[in-house]
Amino acid sequence: MPLPTWSGLFGRRKLVVTHPLGGCPIGSTMREGVVDAFGRVFDGSKKLTDPTATLPGLYVVDGSSIPGALAANPTLTIAAQAIKSVEQALGPLPL
């Protein structure tokens, strides 16, 4: 249903999403998501033997793992998730 305020010159307005999020959900197993809590991508070839197996070295560290819109600009949330993933992969970051 179109928004009542969504009318413009000849009805031609383009929808712009400023902070696209989601599409690659976080889950405990591949049945629940695409990545685990650290952004590691689940290995679909092992879904019957080990639903928590991940692909070595493949991480998702962008906004696609954030489930949906946040109350504020998501930049710091995405950065925090990325740092969490990097620390899991490489160990604690030096200060």
CA atoms of 1 and 28, how far apart (whole Å): 36
Q: Can you give the pLDDT at residue 9?
A: 53
Average pLDDT, the chain: 85
CA distances (Å), origin 29, targets 43, 53, 69, 93, 94: 10, 8, 23, 27, 31
Q: Can you give the pLDDT at residue 37?
A: 94
Q: Can you give the pLDDT at residue 69?
A: 80
pLDDT band at 84 (very low <50, low <70, confident <90, very high): very high
CA atoms of 89 and 56, how far apart (whole Å): 10
pTM of the model: 0.74
The CA R_g of the chain, rounded to the nearest whole Å, is 18
